[in-house]
Structure 1
Amino acid sequence: MRLSGLQKVLWVLAGVAAFVFIWLLLWLDYRADLARAENEPPFFADFELTDHRGMVQTAEDFEGRWMLVFFGFTNCPDVCPTTLSEVAAVMEGLGDEAAMVQPIFITVDPERDTPTALAEYVPLFDAGIIGLTGTPEQIAATSETFPIFFERIEQATAPGGYTMGHTSHLFLFDTQAGFADSWPYGTPAEEILADLRERI
């Protein structure tokens, strides 16, 4: 059976409409995927380390709470105690909301920072801070999941004959361990507190 001219036109129009419909669906899917990607955190906190009480802790253990994470070492002469003091001030300033935030100190010097050393150090700033350590391999693996660096620097006058160079940012992770924000060294506690209160 031969198609009339009108039927041919209708078939062509139907084909074009089907093509446009499929293209529109694909475009909407692409836009949805793009929107999801834009809302995805650039990275997630990921670790399995031993805390200052000798208990193994992972990021999943803090699900449902915001995490304030700082990398440092107990023999740090200035940056670490200053930042942990700011963290302590933030936790105090949060009042009842402090229960929604878990401050975490991860050592970059596992050779000296044993659980015992951390147990003597972190409570000097705030009783709620959890200190984490592990084997050198565990610390190296953890550091690869964060945008940080650290290195051992030989220094004859330092305890043990060396010190550590390391990233000095304070990181914030959301209740699903997704990166939310960070603050450079020297950011006042008041500014960090204000940022936190806008989020939690």
Structure 2
Amino acid sequence: MKSGVFGLRYGEVLLVHLTESGPEATVYNTFGLNDCPAQLWDELDATVIAAEAGAVAAILNGPRYWLMSGIGKADRESMQRKTFGGLEMNRQATVQLASMNPAAYTENRVDRKAVFTFDAGRPVYELVDPDDRRWIMQTYSQTVDPTLGLDDLAGLADRLSLPSGWRYETRVPSSAIVVDTTTRPASVLQDDLANSYSLTD
């Protein structure tokens, strides 16, 4: 388990390939290698990256900031590593995309084999869907709004274009929230500001 993750900055490159079951993205990110320095991230060219990788598309996903306190992941030392525009990244997950351009509030399945722990006593930010399932924000993003910061998250209910029957809530849990997807795919979605959420148990 890597602790002290809260607030750390990172960036991701998703390499998209077409499979029999639909578009699939291999996710590489800078976590644990560097803090996604802006001077390198801003120079990345998705078209060039896709061509070099033989992918149908490359998606630049970031910069982002973790909101959990700790991340547990097996075999971190043996991860496949690539360099994109001078940024070293590790292969972290495979995502079955709902489409080539997934809409906000659409569930995607992520094979990440990880445990995310959100400590008690620290605010968490959640979407609640019409079935009362809770989706906890795992990262906030500056992809859509480059100025979005931690202090803005409590007020997002007024900014998000939530689907009918959805709501956005902030609460302070009295016990740790653990999202364990080591043995099953994670269910992940994004809001219309590109913040990412995991379905909790």
Provide the TM-score with structure 2 as the length reference: 0.25
Provide the TM-score with structure 1 as the length reference: 0.25
Q: Which is bigger in relative contact order (C-alpha 8 A, separation at least 6)?
A: 1
Structure showing greater Rg: 1
Q: Greater strand percent: which structure?
A: 2
Q: Greater helix percent: which structure?
A: 1
